[in-house]
Amino acid sequence: MDPQQYYGAKGQYLDEHCEYFSKKQLEEDADFLIRVLKLSKKDKILDLACGHGRHTIELKRRGYDIDGLDFSKFLLKTAEEQATKKNLKINFYQSNVHNVKLKKKYDKIFLFFSEFGLFKPDQVLKNINKILKKGGLFLLDYDNVFRLIRYLAEHPKAPYTFDFVKMQLKGKNKNYAGVISYYTIPDLITLFLRHKLKIVATYGNYRKEKLNIRSKRTILIGKKK
């Protein structure tokens, strides 16, 4: 997977996830974020890797002070167009998550429905630490590696293979150049602590259900020490 192409104007991102991008799902996502991050209208909030801004726009529509950041010029343009249609003024920043240089500091940051495995985790968390206020919360929403393994076992003809030694998802087709890394909960806890983030909550989906081997998502919330 070439992120520049996949998330660009001719990429497959929007088409591949179009069924997920429903109004009902968006409302569920936003409700979940508000509850678990205890969002306040006084909070400064950042939607990190915001894509085409669906969560940024929905939370802004509900009256929250939120900015969005993404590396894709195409997706940010889409987000800005949608915000304008809804008469919402939102700060959207074009930046790679590995090179965030915002001067602002935020009370709450979330990396939601993300491909965290494409990132350099230490660099991302280091940047989050720089712009997150002391006592602030960071939410990571990430695929559950055990769900993925079960899916691949049940679908042997899937175009992907999993390297258990490196904990990486790879394409069987040579044209699929991307590699996505996966982490267990102990791995993520270690990563968070390395960057002064103490895990205060974990969830397995957007209904706040307990994280387990069958959960669709791995959701962690860290509090900056």
- Higher pLDDT: 127 or 21? It is 127
Distances (CA, A) of 23 to 14, 66, 74, 77: 15, 19, 22, 20
Q: What would the pLDDT profile of 70-117 be if each residue is shown by its tens digit? A: 999 999 999 999 999 999 999 999 999 999 999 999 999 999 987 899
Q: How many CB atoms lie within 10 A of CB 206?
A: 21
Per-residue model confidence (pLDDT) at position 11: 45
Per-residue model confidence (pLDDT) at position 70: 95
pLDDT tier at 174, thresholds 50, 70, 90: low
Q: If you ran DSSP here, which 8-state letter would residue 172 be given?
A: S
pLDDT tier at 140, thresholds 50, 70, 90: very high
Per-residue model confidence (pLDDT) at position 7: 46
Separation CA 194–CA 84 (nearest Å):
40
Mean pLDDT, residues 127-155: 96
Show me where the domains of the chain are located.
3-143+184-224
pLDDT at residue 28 is higher than 70: yes
How many angstroms separate the most distant Cα atoms in the chain?
50
Q: Which helix (H) or strand (E) holds 198?
A: strand 197-203
Question: How far is residue 121 CA from its own chain's centroid?
Answer: 12
Own/partner pairs, 101-104, CB within 8 angstroms, 24+ separation: 102/46, 102/69, 102/131, 104/44, 104/46, 104/67, 104/131
Q: What would the pLDDT profile of 37-59 be if each residue is shown by its tens digit? A: 999 999 999 999 999 999 999 99
pTM tops 0.85? yes
Mean pLDDT, residues 121-137: 97
3-143+184-224: CATH topology is Rossmann fold (3.40.50)
Mean pLDDT of the chain, nearest integer:
90
